[in-house]
Amino acid sequence: MNQQDIIWKQSIPGGCHWSGIMRRGTTLRLIDVQGGANAAMLFFNQEEKLERYNMADTLKSQHTFRLTQGHACHSDMGRIFCCITADTAGWNDTVCGLSDAKLIQQKYGIARYQEHRNQMFRSGLDGMLIELGKWGLGMRDIVSNINFFSKVTADADGELTFHAGNSKAGDHVDLSFEMDTLVILSAAPHPLDTKPAYQPGAVDLAAFVTPAAAISVCQQIAENVRGLHNTHQLYHPCGGAL
Amino acid sequence: MNTHSFAASKLNPDHAVIDEICAAGEPWVGVVKQGQTFRIVDLEGNQAVDTLFFNAGHALERYSATDTIRAQNKLYLTTGSKLCSNFGNTMLSIVADTCGRHDTLGGACAAESNTVRYALEKYPMHSCRDNFLHALAHEKACEQLGMSKRDIPSNINFFMNVPVTEEGNLEFVDGVSAPGKYVEMQAEMDVLVLISNCPQLNNPCNAYNPTPIRLLIWNPQ
């Protein structure tokens, strides 16, 4: 990506939230500014928001627990929102969900706007609900999300370990969209983050036109080829199906 | 080495207030009141039971796989697991389990995901999401709560085995269950239960042969 190719940029301070539309054929780059950021995200079909990111379909279609370059983010309708076309951190979690207000208070205490202004403590769930509300969506639309930059492993008994330091300053993830997608993002701490203090990392966003053949990295998996087939059928100029 | 925890129940099926059979590949809806105990029996073994729970008075509150996993810091469900809602409340607690491990990552099969996972021509095959939507369209309890596809999140797959490795691989493997194995849970609030007795024929989650299940409810002892 060259600087002149960037369509727009946006900085999301740690703990803050954002939503917007990504058009198919464009790539959203998430950049972990200081290291240790968490970008909790959900995806919805911009035309029919009942179609949404599906954690289970994403994992079982690709026989994976971790998401990284070469994987795709699947909808519940057999389509692919976006392909992960680059990932310098190497592991993104999609099973641990969001921090909520109660968790934030238990772990970090209270920091209200009145005393702390925009340094106040925000939760992942509340950030998502605010952004969803802008599009007529809400609690019913919160499903298992992706936590980009965050690594959580499971041992043989399923016991979870959060890996601090998975993502370093400057690490980035590229999401190359194949559907017109409503993107919801919260940069609040991962719910299993081990840092004792509330220090969510900032996330920079940059959008650019997807380079030709970039998504071929995700077509090594037969299930993704079929998901992309279903996706491209929806946008066929003569009308969609499925 | 995987450790599975087994715990048997002392409840007598003769004393159950509900004792029903759900045929292979069909949905089932029921209400479990706070304090009641709910048991699902895998009658013939290796049968995945796709299950969701809703607050019986307010379907906005529903089972949350992520809240449940986060609260117990563990992927698999067994005796002692608390099934949490998206509001952070415990809906039910697993109090007995002769299977030892249940999945909450694998979700439900659907016509559309079958085209992705197996082959484009698998679209017409019966699926768990068809069962869920059939139940939402026909069950008064679901209609009264105003439920729709929007209210279907990630579910539990009782008796299903989806091991995850430290390296981050995930597979559907043959069940850890066997004929007569059961899981039992006590309701901590009034819950609506929505089940699809999984009709999937394309992977080993039902040993390629979906079979009936038995559902029992006991009043507080």
Nearest CA in chain B to A65: B168
Other C-beta atoms closer than 10 Å to the C-beta of A211 total 13
Q: What is the pLDDT of residues B113-154, one digit of tens each?
A: 999 999 999 999 999 999 999 999 999 999 999 999 999 999
Does residue A35 surpass a pLDDT of 80?
yes
- A41 within some domain: yes
Of A7, A29, A67, the residue nearest A176 (C-alpha): A29
Contact between A56 and B105 using a beta-carbon 8 Å cutoff: yes
What band does A239 get if pLDDT is binned at 50, 70 and 90?
Answer: low
The confidence score (pLDDT) of residue A194 equals: 97
Mean pLDDT, range B21-37, rounded to an integer: 98
A105 at B interface, C-beta within 8 A: no
- A226 within some domain: no
Nearest CA in chain A to B72: A159
Contact between B116 and A227 using a beta-carbon 8 Å cutoff: yes
A238 exposure class (CB count in 10 Å sphere: 0-12, 13-18, 19+): exposed
A71 at B interface, C-beta within 8 A: no
What band does B171 get if pLDDT is binned at 50, 70 and 90?
Answer: confident
Find chain B residues with C-beta within 8 A of A50's C-beta.
149-150
Mean pLDDT, range B76-92, rounded to an integer: 98
**Is B185 in contact with B97 (CB distance < 8 Å)?**
no
Quote the number of domains for chain A.
1
Residue type, A33: V
Tokens of A16: 């803050």
State how far the Cα of B18 lies from the Cα of A136, in Å rounded to an integer.
40
Nearest to B66 among A64, A95, A139 (CB): A95
Does residue A241 surpass a pLDDT of 90?
no
Does residue B3 surpass a pLDDT of 60?
no
CA atoms within 13 A on the CB side of A8: 7
Does residue B99 surpass a pLDDT of 80?
yes
Nearest CA in chain A to B103: A158
3-state helix, strand, coil in chain B (%, to 5): 20, 30, 50
Beta-carbon pairs below 8 A across chains A and B: 133
- A138 within some domain: yes
What band does B1 get if pLDDT is binned at 50, 70 and 90?
Answer: very low
Report the gap between the CA of A155 and the closest CA in chain B (Å). Answer: 5
- A233 within some domain: no
Instruction: Write down the pTM of the prediction.
Output: 0.97
| β-pairing verdict for A39-45 and A181-186 | antiparallel
Mean pLDDT, range A54-68, rounded to an integer: 98
The CA-atom distances, in angstroms, between A192 and each of A147, A156, A224, A242, B84 are 11, 19, 30, 38, 16
- A3 within some domain: no
State how far the Cα of B108 lies from the Cα of B152, in Å rounded to an integer.
10
Q: State what percent of residues in chain A have pLDDT above 90.
A: 95
What band does A240 get if pLDDT is binned at 50, 70 and 90?
Answer: low
Domain interval for residue A196:
8-210
- A165 within some domain: yes
- Of A144-153, B91-100, B165-174, B183-192, the one with minimum mean pLDDT is B165-174
What band does B173 get if pLDDT is binned at 50, 70 and 90?
Answer: confident
Of B100, B181, B191, B178, the residue nearest B145 (C-alpha): B191
Contact between B69 and A153 using a beta-carbon 8 Å cutoff: no
Q: State what percent of residues in chain B have pLDDT above 90.
A: 91
The confidence score (pLDDT) of residue A242 equals: 53
* Beta-carbon contacts of residue A41 (< 8 Å; ≥ 6 apart): A53, A145, A146, A147, A148, A183, A184, A185, A186
Q: What is the pLDDT of residues A98-151, one digit of tens each?
A: 999 999 999 999 999 999 999 999 999 999 999 999 999 999 999 999 999 999
State how far the Cα of B153 lies from the Cα of B132, in Å rounded to an integer.
11
**Is A70 in contact with A222 (CB distance < 8 Å)?**
no
- Of A59-68, A115-124, B30-39, B202-211, the one with minimum mean pLDDT is B202-211
